[in-house]
Structure 1
Amino acid sequence: MPGESATPVLIEGRFDGREAFADLIRTALSAAAHQGWSEIVFSDPDFADWPLGERASIEALQAWSASGRRLLLLARRFDLVERGHARFVTWRRTWDHIIECRAAGRTGAAEEVPSALWTPTWCLHRIDAERSRGVCSSEARARRDLRESFDECWRQGRPAFPASTLGL
């Protein structure tokens, strides 16, 4: 981010509560550009309580987005993103070429879509989405296990959340 020189510190261990969860997402987005992550995965049943519509989140994503970057989004449904995160929807349109979105899960199977943020060096897994409790880790095994869970849902998913709904 402009004017910032210190790399944000990504915590390890447990977190508890919606504000702690949102703060961790904000910190991770800020760290993305500083650490030059080539790929980020956002996964959640609906992203309702992610801080994606906040100006700071979009500024961090803008600083991160560059050639060779990739953002994957997995959800059961994206309607809450479209209604509740206007800044993110606008940013998504601009950066469509680096973003892939898929809808996964069957009706009534929200637990199949993990609530998580994955990066090549760190991950956040919200194990109890209702109470926003989970764990953050940079351990290779935790990242691998979370990525495998995500990949399984991704394979069973279908393209969703297009950047534009305009036809020819």
Structure 2
Amino acid sequence: MTAEPTHRMLSSRSEFHEALRAAFDRVATAGCREIWLCDTDFADWPLGEIAVVDSLTRWAMAHRKLVVLAQHYDDIVRRHPRWVNFRRQWSHVVECRALEEVEPGAMPSMFLAPGVVTVRLFDPEHYRASVSTEAADAVRAKEALDVVLQRSNEAFPATTLGL
């Protein structure tokens, strides 16, 4: 029996999407205290897929936290209505933040579940990415996210109050 690799490079859109689906499923099964998602707009993520939302629902508990960092949330509303509904239902677990002014290429694209899995997209044009269970990769990813988080503001409220 061979051990699962701890770090694997990805080179296609389908591999990247499959790695994200597997990461969501993995955290639902293994559990972890927090998940970090970061992308410019999440337009090309499988966030709205039934399996992804089901995995997030299995993972979500009152003591857990999902932090979502984006430049804007316009594409999420249009492309991922199931995820938007999940966000409404689990607003006490989900924190959405935006970094509106960002230099091109400065916004990392990644899924981080510390201690479980890291999926990072390095080249969105050619879908060069990696999936890793190594602690060192998680530490580097968290450091990159902290830089973005420090300059971000709360965004994308779960509900919009109207008159």
TM-score, structure 1 length as denominator? Answer: 0.89
Question: Structure 2 residue aligned with 1:139, among 128, 134, 145?
Answer: 134
The question of whether the paired residues in 2 share the 8 Å contact of 1:116 and 1:123 is answered with yes
Say if 2:102 is the partner of 1:127: no
- Answering whether residue 133 of structure 2 is matched by residue 152 of structure 1, we say no
Name the SS of the counterpart of 1:81 in structure 2: helix
Identity %: 36
Task: Tell me the residue number matched to 1:34.
Answer: 29
**Which among 82, 89, 97 is matched to residue 102 of structure 1?**
97
8 Å Cα contact 2:6/2:134 also seen in 1? no
How many residues matched? 159
Alpha-carbon distance, 1:11 to partner? 6.1
Displacement, 1:110? 3.7
1:90 pairs with 2:89:
no
Q: Which residue is equivalent to 1:59? A: 54
Q: Secondary structure at the match of 2:92?
A: helix
Amino acid across the alignment from 1:155: Q
C-alpha displacement at 1:134, in angstroms?
1.1
Cα deviation for residue 67 of structure 1 reads 2.4
Gaps of 5+ in 1: 1-8
CA pair 99-110 structure 1, distance change in 2 beyond 3 A: farther
Q: Please give the root-mean-square deviation of Cα atoms over the aligned residues, in Å.
A: 1.6
Does 2:10 match 1:15? Answer: yes
Residue 144 (structure 1) shift: 0.7
Contact kept, 8 Å, 1:10 with 1:28, in 2: the verdict is no
Partners of 1:111 and 1:93 lie apart in 2 by 30
**In 2 relative to 1, CA 139–105 (structure 1 residues): closer, same or farther, beyond 3 Å?**
farther
**CA distance in structure 2 between the partners assigned to 1:110 and 1:33 by the alignment:** 33
Asked if 2 retains the 8 angstrom alpha-carbon contact of 1:105 and 1:156, the reply is no
Query: Of 63, 74, 83, which aligns to 1:79?
Result: 74
From the superposition, tell whether residues 130 and 159 of structure 1 become closer, same or farther in structure 2 (CA, over 3 Å). same
Q: Which amino acid aligns with 1:120?
A: P
Is 1:48 aligned to residue 73 of structure 2?
A: no
**Aligned-partner Cα distance in 1 for 2:84–2:137:** 30
Q: CA deviation at 1:33?
A: 1.5
